[in-house]
């Protein structure tokens, strides 16, 4: 959309959350609430996005980890004051400005677009998104004049009993023309029940100036749910969870228990994949077709290719190839890449390692900072000793190598192609191709050793 920018207010504490962290960084399906709003503003066409931070703002900036304009509102003197703190950035911009609150994660880009279109088609200087709710308490009320035009927005705490009865409320989603907005913000006064500079008062100011303003009513009140406490946070997550699970099922994904499956908004899943209960799939995760994920698994920021099974396991920052089998009880950590037909079995931890096609790490292993070729077999209990207390070192295991059970591979070390490492060995030197490395004390046999169990007890 031409000449559209956005300011998102995220400076408040969110006292009712009873939290040490700012409300807007509390997560819904693995993603901070504020991130949803930023993404929606971007999808609605906002060219640049300014985020107003205040209460523990460094945490907000850190958790977003995005290159946006951040503006500090050191003292939270109200929503109008918050927008005005962005003036140094806003005064260089032209056209329309979206003002959004950072705690409305369900707001859809199409709704924002409809609000902008309503403002533009009516030639208004300001438009507000409104909705009708059964219980309007806590919200600003939309006061209309005798001809049905919006006259003012009155906060709950300032409303007369008649105004309190109004069910049309302010959702906190606005579109303004920048120049008149900045001018009106400067004439705000805090003469109200909360002693704050209310953004909502600019509507009264525009009316007084005879400038045209618009209200756009949406019947999707859920979209503007702004969780204020932990109960509303859970309700909001529950609503979005069902929406996402329903959409996936409609695309051909089986979600066995939609109540007990948590899938984030960015996740993509191919058809005929089955998601079993107790599974959490978050971040930028892409899952292929015909996979089985779960039960009781957690996948974060990973790629899982077709026909792969992951059960009772955790996968984070990894790329799991096709036809793999992972788990039960595997922990796949960042930087792990597996090729085709790889088996990662029970109680296996992998980190920053590449596992070639057909290789198996079936039981009780730690493989870190390693490169495994194709068709490597790792015996039960084998580990890479990658850390000397100061530095991490790499282990390379070439194609077709066979590592016996309970071996320690002390990195840096290279195991040659088709080499064999005897069970129980601690390998500290490179093993050549097609050789056998044995590094353990020889077994001794002492004949005629009477069984301890048959000796008389003292
Ligand atoms: C606001 C609206 C109200 C509307 C409701 C919708 C005003 C005056 N009132 O009330 O009409 O019905 O939202 O949910 O705008 N913030 C700052 N700096 C501040 C104060 C607030 O950045 O100084 C941020 C908060 O972090 C939050 C947003 O602005 O993201 C809204 O503030 P909040 O205190 O929740 O306003 P409400 O009382 O809910
Ligand atoms: Mg609020």
Proximal ligand: closest to the CA of 193: 1
Which atom of ligand 1 lies at the shortest distance from residue 139's CA? 12
CA of 235 relative to ligand 2 center, distance in Å: 16
Residue ranges, comma separated, of all CATH 2.160.10.10 domains in the chain are: 230-437
Cα gap 177→198, rounded to integer Å: 18
The verdict on the CB of residue 226 being under 6 Å from ligand 1 is yes
Q: What is the pLDDT of residue 225?
A: 84
pLDDT digits (tens, 9 = 90+) for 210-265: 999 999 999 998 998 889 899 999 999 999 999 999 999 999 999 999 999 999 99
**Tell me, what's the pLDDT at 160?**
97
129-169 pLDDT, tens digit each: 999 999 999 899 999 999 999 999 999 999 999 999 999 99
Q: Are 77 and 190 in contact (CB under 8 A)?
A: yes
What is the C-alpha end-to-end distance of the chain, expressed in Å?
A: 92
Per DSSP bridges, beta strands 254-255 and 150-154 are unpaired
Least confident of 389-393, 431-435, 447-451: 447-451
User: Which residue among 23, 153, 172 is best mutated to probe the pocket of ligand 1, counting the most ligand atoms within 8 A of its Cβ?
Assistant: 172
Residue from 8, 10, 12, 59 whose mutation best tests the ligand 1 pocket (most atoms within 8 A of CB)? 12
Whole-number Å distance between alpha carbons of 270 and 248:
9
In ligand 1, the atom with minimum distance to the C-alpha of 101 is: 30
Contact at 8 Å (CB) between 82 and 9? yes
CA-11 nearest atom, ligand 1: 22
Residue 2 confidence class, pLDDT cut points 50, 70, 90? low
Contacts (Cβ under 8 Å, ≥6 apart) of 119: 96, 126, 127, 175, 214, 216
User: What pLDDT, on a 0 to 100 scale, did the predictor assign at position 455?
Assistant: 73
Non-local (6+) Cβ contacts of 168 within 8 A are: 130, 131, 132, 136, 141, 142, 144, 215, 217
Helix (H, G, I), strand (E, B) or coil at 37: helix
Which ligand 1 atom lies nearest to the CA of residue 54? 22
Mean per-residue pLDDT for 369-376? Answer: 98
**Residues pairing with 297 in the sheet:** none
As a whole-number percent, the residues of the chain with pLDDT over 90 amount to: 95
Task: Tell me what pLDDT residue 216 has.
Answer: 95
Q: How far is the CA of 212 from the centre of ligand 1 (A)?
A: 24
CATH superfamily to which 230-437 belongs? Hexapeptide repeat proteins (2.160.10.10)
Q: Where in the chain is the domain with CATH 3.90.550.10?
A: 4-224
Give the C-alpha separation, 148 to 132, whole Å: 15
The pLDDT, as a whole number, for residue 304 is 98
**412 preceded by a cis bond (ω within 30 of 0):** yes
CATH level 2 (architecture), domain 4-224: Alpha-Beta Complex (3.90)
DSSP lists the bridge partners of residue 287 as 269, 304
Could you tell me which residues are beta bridge partners of residue 151? none
In angstroms, rounded to a whole number, what is the distance separating the alpha carbons of residues 89 and 69? 8
pLDDT per residue as tens digits for the range 294-329: 999 999 999 999 999 999 999 999 999 999 999 999
- pLDDT exceeds cutoff 70 at 1: no
Please tell me the predicted confidence (pLDDT) of residue 457: 74
**419 Cα distance to chain centroid:** 44
What average pLDDT score do residues 103-113 get? Answer: 96
Output the CA angle 178-180-183, nearest 5 degrees.
Answer: 105
What's the gap in Å between 228 CA and the centre of ligand 2? 6
- Computed from CA positions of residues 363, 368, 374, 376, in that sequence, does the dihedral angle turn out positive or negative? negative
How does the average pLDDT of the chain come out, rounded? 96
Residue 97 confidence (pLDDT) above 70: yes
Element (H, E) at 111: helix 109-121
Tell me, using a 6 A CB cutoff, whether residue 12 lines ligand 1. yes
Give one DSSP letter per residue of 356-371, joined into a string: -TT-EEEES-EEESEE
Query: Could you confirm whether 363 is annotated as catalytic?
Result: yes
What pLDDT, in 10s, does the model give residues 264-292?
Answer: 999 999 999 999 999 999 999 999 999 99
Residue 318 Cα, ligand 2 centroid: separation in angstroms? 38
């Amino acid at each position: 959309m031409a000449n559209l920018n956005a300011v998102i207010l995220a400076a408040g504490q969110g006292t009712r959350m009873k939290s040490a962290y700012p409300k807007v960084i509390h997560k819904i399906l693995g993603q901070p609430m504020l991130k949803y709003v930023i993404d929606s503003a971007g999808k609605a066409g906002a060219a640049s996005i300014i985020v107003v931070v205040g209460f523990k703002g460094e945490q907000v900036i850190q958790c977003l980890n995005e290159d946006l304009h951040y503006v500090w509102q050191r003292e939270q003197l109200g929503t109008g004051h918050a927008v005005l703190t962005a003036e140094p950035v806003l005064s260089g911009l032209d056209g329309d400005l979206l003002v959004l609150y950072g705690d409305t994660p369900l707001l859809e880009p199409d709704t924002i677009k409809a609000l902008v279109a309503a403002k533009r088609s009516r030639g208004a200087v300001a438009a507000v998104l409104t909705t009708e709710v059964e219980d309007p308490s806590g919200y600003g009320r939309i006061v209309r004049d005798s001809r049905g035009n919006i006259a003012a927005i009155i906060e709950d705490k300032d409303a007369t009993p008649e105004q309190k009865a109004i069910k049309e409320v302010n959702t906190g989603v606005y579109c303004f023309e920048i120049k008149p907005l900045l001018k009106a913000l400067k004439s705000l006064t805090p003469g109200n029940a909360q002693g704050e500079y209310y953004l909502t008062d600019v509507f009264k100011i525009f009316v007084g100036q005879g400038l045209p303003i618009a209200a756009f009513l949406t019947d999707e009140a859920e979209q503007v749910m702004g969780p204020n406490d932990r109960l509303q946070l859970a309700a909001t997550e529950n609503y979005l969870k069902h929406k996402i699970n329903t959409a996936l099922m409609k695309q051909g994904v089986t979600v066995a228990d939609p109540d007990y499956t948590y899938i984030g908004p960015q996740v993509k899943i191919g058809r005929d994949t089955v998601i079993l209960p107790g599974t959490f799939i978050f971040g930028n995760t892409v899952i292929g077709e015909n996979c089985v994920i779960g039960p009781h698994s957690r996948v974060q920021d990973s790629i899982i290719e077709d026909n792969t099974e992951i059960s009772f396991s955790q996968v984070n920052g990894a790329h799991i190839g096709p036809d793999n089998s992972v788990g039960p009880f595997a922990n796949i950590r960042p930087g792990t890449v597996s090729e085709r037909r790889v088996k990662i079995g029970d109680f296996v931890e992998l980190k920053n390692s590449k596992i070639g096609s057909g290789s198996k790490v079936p039981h009780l292993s730690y493989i870190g900072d390693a490169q495994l070729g194709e068709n490597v077999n790792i015996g039960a209990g084998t580990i890479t000793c990658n850390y000397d207390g100061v530095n991490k070192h790499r282990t390379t295991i070439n194609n077709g190598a066979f590592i016996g059970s309970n071996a320690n591979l002390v990195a840096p070390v290279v195991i040659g192609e088709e080499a064999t490492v005897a069970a129980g060995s601690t390998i500290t030197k490179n093993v050549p191709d097609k050789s056998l490395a044995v590094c353990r004390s020889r077994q001794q046999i002492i004949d005629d050793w009477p069984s301890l169990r048959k000796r008389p007890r003292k």
